Structure 1
Amino acid sequence: MENEELFFDDNEGTSDAALTHQTLVDTQEKLGTLLDLMPTGLIIHQMQGMLFANQQALYLLDENVTTLVGKHFLDFVSEDQREKCSELFMTTFMRDEPVRFPEIKLEQSAGRTLYIQVTASRLPWEGTSVVQIMLEDVTELRLQADELQKLTFHDVLTGAYNRRYFVQHAEECITHALDEGKPFSLMIFDIDWFKQVNDTYGHLAGDEALKIISKVWRLNTRHNEFDNRKNDGTLSRIGGEEFAIYLPNVDEEGAKAIAERIRRAIEHEVIIFEDNRFSITASFGLTSLQGDDQKLDDLIRRADRALYQAKENGRNRVEFA
């Protein structure tokens, strides 16, 4: 009997334990709901794959709970960024400080492109190494920045680069060409009898003629690339009806060939505006980098003289200074 007295029902202790258990369950449910309401994507990730993703992360990754099982964050990173992101991902497991990834570009199935800022940090997690990955949607900020850059460096009417872009980047290319001993050419051209186009067909028709220059350039040239092949430079509108193209890695003969190709394409383009159909021509002045050139102005002066000579010699032609 004495031993039996040592065992008794602790109803109060049992109730407290049950209450504690229920409180933990409720807390986990509330925590899960709270995480799902976060405007920032959250992923709990072990070395091998994802353990948890909140609703915002699922939306950004264009996945659901079922399809996400067994996947790795790096599965969503493009090939050109994967090596760098893989190094940073591994670093996260070994550092106490947060690790910031480069901006990630995500392509969703609906055709929308998202830009995501990624930050990862190690979590104190018993039994396994775990990191949390935060995903912040910066698409709107990226688009606003792109639009601001476009307004800063592009001509609104034609879509070509503007004079500011031309001066800044052409000077950089000249410095590079001088340092490397590589060729560089400059082309300046304008539309012949442009005032007559405006007077005959109206200023809106003149605007259409300016837009045609960008169209012709896109169809007949390659965009500028700093490589070993010849390329056709970058079109900039530097005045009313005046355009320029700088040509890194292009010598005199290459510049002449490019200019002739663009000149012929402009001449054969038919402009249709309202009930009017008309054509335009353009005159070109070219020059190439010389040993005593030090800055862009040296080439612009020679190209302008060549352009003036093209006008004097009958227009719709190419002259080289």
Structure 2
Amino acid sequence: MQASEIRVFCPATIANVSCGFDVLGLALDSVGDEMVVRKTQEKGIKIIKLTGQDLPTETLQNVAGVAGLALLAAFDYNGGFEIEIYKKIKAGSGIGSSAASSTGAVWAMNQLIGKPFTPLELVKFAMEGERLASGVAHADNVAPALFGGFTLVRSYQPLDIVKINTPKELFATVIHPQIEVKTSDSRRILKTTISLEDGIKQWGNVGGLIAGLFTEDYDLIGRSLEDHIVEPIRSILIPGFDSVKQKAIEAGALGSGISGSGPSIFALSKGEVAAKKVANAMSEVYDKIGIDYDIHVSKVNAEGIKIL
């Protein structure tokens, strides 16, 4: 007999991972939202509870509602769902707050109706939540949340997602200065064309990062965490960015960059001890500047969303 209710953990995610704008992402293990999704006889979707953030609960204005409706539109189901959202990821933090809600909703609904949809199909539904949040249906946050680990969006038309090997000792440190940078705003300032020279550098780094992850070559991973296209523009919106990145690398990080659209800054390290040392170094910068922050040290979450 199928369950009528499910409680899930929806992981925070780091998108872009320096060189992979809109195509690379990874799931975190130590921070995420929780959601309860239950079947109802009444058709449609209702957000009946939302704690932790001041976000809309109207179905068409909530990313979980919109993503869930996309799933329902593709499935002949004589009923609906109620959703409770317990937000632990701050909106506008750059670690996939909207993606956690979108993916949590569709993953849980899929479980409750007997798993008719593949993870790739669930990504398509969750992308509709991202479209509502940022104006663009990007998949670099929702893919790792649903697949777990590192993911590459090889193509958007047609959608093609590849799960990438995650080295066992790879840890992420993420610092979130308490300012909000809206994804829609940070996309608006980007150039729509790039030079061939910058493109060549970027393609080399994307290939190097993928190769480094599969061969578990930590030095290669570090050398490849370079962004010649987006970071130089977006970093202007993040106070202390250059100092935080420099201190992270001096403390032993493999590399560092902007998490998603910011303002969070991530660093990847080999081992938890190194990641904690990096966290201390990053914290010191904002302590001196006087900006409040949250900081997370996490291994890469290999499984993605899970039942609690």
TM-score past 0.5 threshold: no
Which one has the bigger helix percentage? 1
Whose relative contact order is higher, 1 or 2, with alpha carbons under 8 Å and at least 6 apart?
2
Task: Report the TM-score range of the alignment, normalised by the length of the smaller protein.
Answer: under 0.3
Q: TM-score, normalised by structure 2?
A: 0.27
Which one has the bigger strand percentage? 2
Q: Which has the larger radius of gyration?
A: 1
